Structure 1
Amino acid sequence: MQCQTFTLRLDNAQDLERLNSFLAQVMPIQVSSSLVSGNKPFWSVLVFYEGTAPQPKQAEAVHTPSDPRFEALRTWRSRKAKEEGVPPYVVATNAELKAILEEQPKTLEELAQVKGFSKAKAAKYGRELLSLLK
């Protein structure tokens, strides 16, 4: 397990973009945040994750155009996250979505075997994901 700290300044949207880019490339285990008050308040975010930290070139790759199937999965993920009131990476990370596209699971059991996608996520989202993949 690895840990990474981020500082999100309230007047700097690039800080949030950097955090979201990082979260899209790793398998987050836990994300916690705390508002640090003062003259210039900011959010301190601590991310515990599996694997190794992405290299800067990988972070830039997140912004490259994707194939329509990946964009369809991202749209589905955004809708689910909004319905559940959670960040999109809680529903599925970009790495999980890419792994789903690579594996092309046909059953809930196969979906549960995709790297980073648990049996609980497969049970919760599996039917919708499998219908999207068809």
Structure 2
Amino acid sequence: MSQYRNELLRNAERITRLHQRINETFPFRGENNEKLKEWEEACRTFHQEYDKLAFPGGLEGAYERILDGDTDAMEAAICFLECRPYFFRSGYMFKDILRIANRAPLTPDQRTRYQKVRSAFEAYKASRTATE
């Protein structure tokens, strides 16, 4: 996998910790102003950091960069699909990137890697449908 694997997985852990902090402080936010401020700070930090952590180079505009053929964005997208980091909303991102990467100007190596992920995902979907 590419240079982005460790960054994606490390960032996924950070997003998960930030999201957990929101969940930890949420039940107590009504107790007093200090608890409310803790929850607000947890929310602020999560929202402030999410974009830069969710995708290398930032999630905002990432899909356009992939479609425009940005070399780094295309490689990060394929790596995201391969390592499938788990964090808040990453499943939606996976499906979006899978759909977008199909139309992106990938290198032959990236296209091969993409097809491998796509095939595995289609097999997974078929196995879930068969058991329902």
Q: TM-score, normalised by structure 2?
A: 0.30
**Higher Cα radius of gyration:** 2
Please state which structure has a larger fraction of its residues in helix. Answer: 2
Q: TM-score scaled by structure 1?
A: 0.30
